Amino acid sequence: MSNIPHSENQAPEQESTGSVDASASKTTLFDRRSDDESAAHETVAAATEIDFDSPEFYLNRELTWLAFNSRVLSMADEPDTPLLERVKFLAIISNNLDEFQMKRIGGLKQQLAAGVRTPTIDGRTPAEQIAVCQERVREIHKEQNRILRKVLGQLAQQGIRIVKYHSLTEEQKNDLRSDFVENIFPLLTPLAMDPGHPFPFISNLALNLLVTLRHKGGSVPHIARVKVPVTKGIAPRFIHVDDGYTFVALDDVVANNMDLLFPGMEIESCELFRVTRNAIVETDEEEADDLLVMIESELRHRHFAPIVRLQITKGMNPTHRGMLAAELGLDEENDVYEVEEIMGMRDLFEIAFLDIPELQDPPHKPIDHTRLAHDSRNIFHIIRERGSLLFQYPYESFSTSVERFLRTASVDPKVLAIKMTLYRTSAEGGIIDSLVQASRNGKQVAVLIELKARFDEAANIGWARRLEQAGIHVTYGVVGLKTHSKVILVVRRDYNKLRRYAHIGTGNYHSGTARLYSDLGMLTCDDDIAQDLTELFNYLTGYSPPPTYRKILAAPYTLKKSLLKKIEREQALHSEHSPGLIQFKMNALEDIDITRALYKAAQAGVKVDLIVRDTCRMRPGIPGLSENVRIISVVGRFLEHARIYFFHNGGNEEYYIGSADLMTRNLESRVEVVAPVDDVKLRQELRLILDVQLSSKKHVWEMKPDGTYVQRARISETDSAMSSQDTFIELAQKRKTAAAKHRQSKLRAKLLTYFHKRVLNES
């Protein structure tokens, strides 16, 4: 999801009845040869010593991420998904696949150009990964087009139509032509392509028309490129043509009014195309005198980065297709994609967000946390009194928890300092405003902004400059490491001493994603965690060496080592009387060392339950190796984004939450924070989350031994069932109702006590 603010990869998931069925693939998506699978099963069953580096035991990172997108796509094909939400999922998939081409295919092509031939742990070279990924992407596109045609038909039944220009009435065409002359024509710049005019620069993901034309009566063809000026608020992709919900695509309007752009010329053809550029353009931080200037330079270079994909309309003139591929430096057979339906389907967000409530998910309003609702006291007093508080977004409010925490800190005269990491944020919600207000009120404010948050670099540069102008100390982290942690530390002069208050989260400080992503956050005044975060910030903003910590697990120095030790400890403590249990909920499991350790624990008898949103290297159910492993993927209206790590630990249970996924980049090349949850009541809340998702059937996909996924229950079997996300919505509302009744009963008791005392006094 991203557009729909970023997905750290953003987007829900999917695979449905009648849609992409990963388990039905003729050849497994993850292991190239089914013979290898059979051999692996036989080998494991027979062997006493297992080669834990064998490629057969590991799934491919890119293909598992594409399989996740197949699960997202199935949400667009589910009858119980509201119609405009199905349109939204189609747009999400298009956006996700654009980013996949920019980041993952772009990166693989860089490896290929550098001569890298070393296979990954699953046995594929960069060239082999590109080939199999392109094949899988084409399959997803085919399924996406099938679902789109189906959805467009159902939209038409509801009076929502995307029509072709030639089907409009003459009156509608005249109205559009007038609008074209006034609002679109001034934005167009035709660029000729001939010996005197070199092939023009083509912007990333922009829509373009390749126009073939001749002088009237002439025989020599000419070619020009016209960029379709999709501009938010001025020239949307889909233009209203009546008072209802009939739309025509902007590129269709431009193509049918070319005579105004080329007067006196005969238009022979108008063919749509679109290019995708590599998003990985990074320079060496250690060579940069100014990191902010370096990132700005990277953004400019990304604008001109190599092209990795060309999309064209189906049936484009073969000569034009070949010319474009050659000019753009692409392999015509492998890098050119024909589009059957709507090119740039992510623009369907415009349709998905139409104000038609009956065709969208029922509105969801997060509740105030029951321990904060109707308690107007200073939030620091509440935390100090209550201990730690756990929040589950978007079921509970981000505004009345994290934003309230920062708003209060910015104006509380006893607050002396605020330290915070920012990976992604937004103008909405007031995070930046609170930090600026705190600085103006004389508090020490230090903010670490990650400038290299993919696709948010420009926004983060803007936030950095605004904060610096407000007198805030802004740093950009440790050279060579992305700062991905989500932490806030507030230093306050309490009544008897200095006390530190902290927030540790799994998601960004972004009010938009807090309504769309399923995340967790904890407010605490735990002394050990506060001291750990103090030392962490000293490391991030200064030169102090990486510290050892009392409670938190921090990447890149302690997190991976600690997790491996805890997995090994679980294996050592496992017994018949005290069975081992590891349960992880995360976005991705990619790190080989962690995967190998989980295999060893499972082989020794430890039960391993994994709730993995997308990328997953591990395979469950391999005889003699991973029969104790269960892997599921949860889908729904919200993007699953929380990370929970649980260890049974011989009965001395441990729960952790934090920002880190189990990917090598997160564990070794990023600053991440994972913190323990010690409070018994908060542990019960985490236990509920894990149990609900592990036991749900609706919108849950379970991985099979070959790495494919199948739905736990068909649509017909889940008509009366609730998804885990629906369960959490209902639970939040019940908590709100129960809290209100509790307040009423307390008020009644107070009134009874008051009147009883008054009666006694009067008597």
Query: Could you tell me the CA-to-CA distances from 542 to 142, 196, 476, 478, 537 in Å, in that order?
Result: 52, 56, 11, 9, 8
Residue 457 has, within 13 A of its CA and on its CB side, a CA count of 20
With CA atoms as reference, report the closest residue to 446 among 469, 421, 480.
Answer: 421
Burial readout 625-661 (b: 16 or more C-beta within 10 A, e: otherwise):
bbebbbbbbbbbbbbbbbbbbbbbbeeeebbbbbbbb
Torsion angle, CA of 526/529/534/536, rounded to 10 degrees?
-170
With CA atoms as reference, report the closest residue to 676 among 569, 580, 549, 536.
Answer: 549
Q: Which two tokens stand for residue 381?
A: 């007093």
- Helix extents (H) in 101-125: 106-113
Q: Which two tokens stand for residue 543?
A: 């030169």
Count of beta carbons in the 10 Å neighbourhood of residue 34: 12
- Cβ burial of 254 (10 Å; 0-12, 13-18, 19+) is buried
H or E element that contains 338: strand 336-339
Note whether 6 and 627 are within 8 A (CB). no
Note whether 8 and 587 are within 8 A (CB). yes
In angstroms, the CA 612 to CA 631 distance is: 7
Residue 389 has, within 13 A of its CA and on its CB side, a CA count of 27
Note whether 607 and 628 are within 8 A (CB). yes
Q: Which two tokens stand for residue 9?
A: 């990869």
Whether the bond between 55 and the residue before it is cis, its omega within 30 degrees of 0, is: no
With CA atoms as reference, report the closest residue to 390 among 676, 743, 723, 645.
Answer: 676
The answer to whether 484 is a known catalytic residue is yes
Q: Across the strands, what pairs with 520? A: 392
Note whether 191 and 224 are within 8 A (CB). yes
Q: Which two tokens stand for residue 367?
A: 């509740």
Note whether 184 and 254 are within 8 A (CB). yes
H or E element that contains 90: helix 83-100
Mapped onto helix, strand or coil, the DSSP state of residue 96 is: helix
CA angle 204, 208, 209 (to 5 degrees): 165
CA angle 291, 296, 301 (to 5 degrees): 120
In angstroms, the CA 542 to CA 48 distance is: 51
Tokens 């925490």 found at: 405
Q: Which two tokens stand for residue 666?
A: 């997160």
Which residue in the list 484, 503, 641, 648 is annotated as catalytic?
484
- For 340, residues 6+ apart whose C-beta sits below 8 A from its C-beta are 145, 314
H or E element that contains 227: strand 222-227
Alpha carbon 339 to its chain centroid, in Å, reads 25
Note whether 11 and 69 are within 8 A (CB). yes
Q: Which residues are catalytic?
A: 484
